[in-house]
């Protein structure tokens, strides 16, 4: 018997916080901070939440450490609701500097990972939960089972508790963004690895991200950069239509799901001649170079569509900044070719990883090398 847990739906779009809402909250919070600091930690958090609620009711403010303590952190959290993650990051970007606190987005991992939970007269510890993992298309899939016998009438309750514990053990971003399907099983599948207690899983998770999925979260060095060029044909294309040319930045996989590169920007520019195509490429390459210089974005792939449009896809830290820079560079290099910019919030890098998985599966099956290079 198995039970699939509901997956977080990234297609849901939350109402974005305005700059006025963000500024108003931090202004109110800063004004009340001296009073908050006179309270015990628990009351500090309760009162801080009351200050935040009128401005961002779906978010919460937590305190790691104690008021006025060196190294204390103010943490903005959405309690794992990925639809609100963009607002979390916007609120943190708008935070002022505080003398005693650093402001961070998302709950970090619990320091003591071998802990127990008590809910409704039932106790479950991290050592009671076994976790196995596998590659679920560039993110981590999990299978969970219990080490101890759970009374039948408490199974659903125990699964709910294990889910909460997993969130605390991995931290908010890792659990919500880098974990995909989670399934409770009576027996582990043949294609999973691990089956270790939850208390030791964070180190296993990190090693799998680094060694198997290839996530260093560092920008690739120029000498190690890998690109793949191949012909692709849209499903709706007829046999007479020319294929699209996809140039895929394979090395960008090292950055996939990095929290500060969570906005997907697609910039399309039309062309009608080789001269115009060269101008379009110069504009898009200039944006790539400008973003990479300060590690504010990375070109994920480009695609020549119907031999009339070149689309360049980036993951960027600040969509407004990158969009303005694209328009500026477009006017500079290709002033006669007005383009189109689309921006979406894609913290799980679905646009990139969908292509990454398909390309590598195809290359593995064919045993052939497509063209490499820009």
pLDDT digits (tens, 9 = 90+) for 173-200: 999 999 999 999 999 999 999 899 999 9
The arithmetic mean of pLDDT across residues 134-150, rounded, is 94
Edge-to-edge strands of the sheet including 129-135?
A: 2-4, 179-185, 140-146, 129-135, 193-197
pLDDT above 70 coverage of the chain, percent? 93
Residues 6+ apart with CB under 8 A from 199: 113, 114, 125, 126, 127, 169
The arithmetic mean of pLDDT across residues 237-257, rounded, is 90
pLDDT for the residue 186: 92
Which tens digit of pLDDT belongs to each residue from 23-55? 999 999 999 999 999 999 999 999 999 999 999
Query: β-pairing, 129-135 with 193-197?
Result: antiparallel
| CB half-sphere exposure, 140, CA atoms < 13 A | 31
Which residue matches tokens 């379009």? 280
pLDDT for the residue 10: 54
What are the C-alpha distances in Å from 119 to residues 113, 124, 129, 158, 164? 18, 9, 16, 9, 11
Neighbours of 124 (CB within 10 A): 24
Neighbours of 289 (CB within 10 A): 11
Secondary structure letter of residue 337 according to DSSP: S
Which tens digit of pLDDT belongs to each residue from 309-362? 999 999 999 999 999 999 999 999 999 888 999 999 999 999 999 999 999 887
Which tens digit of pLDDT belongs to each residue from 77-91? 999 999 999 999 999
pLDDT for the residue 365: 66
Query: Whole-model pTM?
Result: 0.88
What b/e readout covers 196-214, taking b as 16+ CB neighbours within 10 angstroms? ebbbbbbebbeebbeeebe
Most confident of 6-15, 220-229, 295-304: 295-304
User: Of all helices (H) and strands (E), which one includes residue 276?
Assistant: helix 274-293
Q: Which of 4, 298, 358, 350 is nearest to 178 (CA)?
A: 350
Which tens digit of pLDDT belongs to each residue from 107-121? 998 866 678 888 888
Determine the distance from the C-alpha atom of residue 330 to the mean position of all C-alpha atoms in its chain, rounded to a whole number.
Answer: 28
| Cβ burial, residue 361 (10 Å; 0-12/13-18/19+) | exposed
pLDDT for the residue 1: 35
The crossing angle, in degrees rounded to 10, of helices 319-333 and 274-293 is 140
Which residue matches tokens 């809402």? 21
User: Is 142 in contact with 201 (CB distance < 8 Å)?
Assistant: no
Q: How confident is the model at residue 67 (pLDDT cuts 50, 70, 90)?
A: very high
pLDDT for the residue 110: 82
Task: Give just the sign of the alpha carbon dihedral 273, 286, 339, 316.
Answer: positive
Rounded mean pLDDT of the chain?
91
pLDDT for the residue 361: 83
The arithmetic mean of pLDDT across residues 224-252, rounded, is 87
| CB half-sphere exposure, 11, CA atoms < 13 A | 1
**Residue 11: pLDDT over 70:** no
Helix (H, G, I), strand (E, B) or coil at 286: helix
What are the C-alpha distances in Å from 4 to residues 7, 58, 124, 309? 9, 26, 20, 42
What are the C-alpha distances in Å from 70 to residues 34, 64, 101, 180, 363? 16, 11, 8, 36, 52
Q: Bigger pLDDT: 93 or 7?
A: 93
Which tens digit of pLDDT belongs to each residue from 257-284? 999 999 999 999 999 999 999 999 999 9
Q: How confident is the model at residue 4 (pLDDT cuts 50, 70, 90)?
A: very low
The structure tokens listed for 250 are 């394979």
Neighbours of 172 (CB within 10 A): 23
Lowest mean pLDDT among 133-147, 232-246, 281-295: 232-246
The arithmetic mean of pLDDT across residues 283-303, rounded, is 97
pLDDT for the residue 372: 53
The arithmetic mean of pLDDT across residues 139-143, rounded, is 96
The arithmetic mean of pLDDT across residues 280-304, rounded, is 97
The arithmetic mean of pLDDT across residues 56-72, rounded, is 92
**Residue 368: pLDDT over 80:** no
Q: How confident is the model at residue 3 (pLDDT cuts 50, 70, 90)?
A: very low
pLDDT for the residue 2: 35
């Amino acid at each position: 018997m198995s039970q699939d847990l509901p997956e977080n739906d990234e297609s849901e779009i939350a109402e974005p916080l305005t700059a006025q809402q963000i500024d108003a909250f931090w202004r109110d919070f800063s004004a009340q901070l001296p009073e908050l600091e006179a309270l015990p930690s628990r009351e500090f958090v309760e009162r801080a939440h009351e200050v935040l609620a009128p401005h961002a009711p779906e978010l919460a403010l937590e305190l790691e450490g104690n008021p006025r303590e060196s190294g204390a952190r103010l943490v903005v959290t959405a309690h794992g609701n990925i639809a609100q993650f963009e607002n979390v990051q916007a609120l943190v970007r708008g935070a002022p500097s505080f003398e005693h606190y650093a402001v961070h987005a998302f709950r970090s991992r619990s320091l003591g990972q071998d802990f127990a939970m008590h809910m409704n007269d039932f106790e479950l510890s991290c050592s009671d939960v076994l976790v196995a993992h596998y590659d679920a298309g560039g993110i981590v899939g999990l299978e969970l089972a219990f080490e101890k016998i759970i009374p039948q009438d408490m199974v659903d309750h125990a699964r709910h508790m294990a889910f909460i514990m997993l969130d605390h053990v991995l931290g908010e971003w890792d659990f919500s963004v880098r974990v995909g399907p989670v399934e409770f099983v009576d027996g582990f599948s043949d294609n999973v690895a691990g089956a270790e207690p939850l208390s030791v899983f964070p180190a296993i998770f990190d090693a799998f991200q680094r060694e198997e999925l290839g996530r260093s979260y560092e920008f690739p060095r120029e000498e190690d950069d890998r690109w793949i060029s191949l012909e692709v044909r849209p499903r709706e294309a007829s046999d007479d239509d020319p294929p699209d040319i996809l140039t895929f930045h394979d090395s960008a996989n090292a950055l996939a799901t990095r929290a500060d590169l969570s906005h997907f920007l697609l910039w399309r520019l039309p062309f009608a001649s080789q001269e115009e195509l060269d101008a379009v490429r110069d504009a898009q390459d200039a944006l790539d170079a400008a973003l990479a210089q300060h590690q504010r974005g990375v070109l994920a792939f480009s695609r020549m569509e119907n031999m009339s449009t070149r689309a360049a896809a980036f993951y960027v830290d600040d969509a407004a900044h990158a969009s303005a820079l694209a328009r500026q560079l477009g006017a500079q290099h290709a002033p006669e070719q007005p383009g189109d910019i689309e921006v979406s919030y894609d913290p799980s890098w679905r646009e990139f990883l969908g292509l990454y998985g398909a390309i590598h599966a195809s290359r593995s099956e064919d045993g052939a090398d497509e063209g490499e290079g820009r």
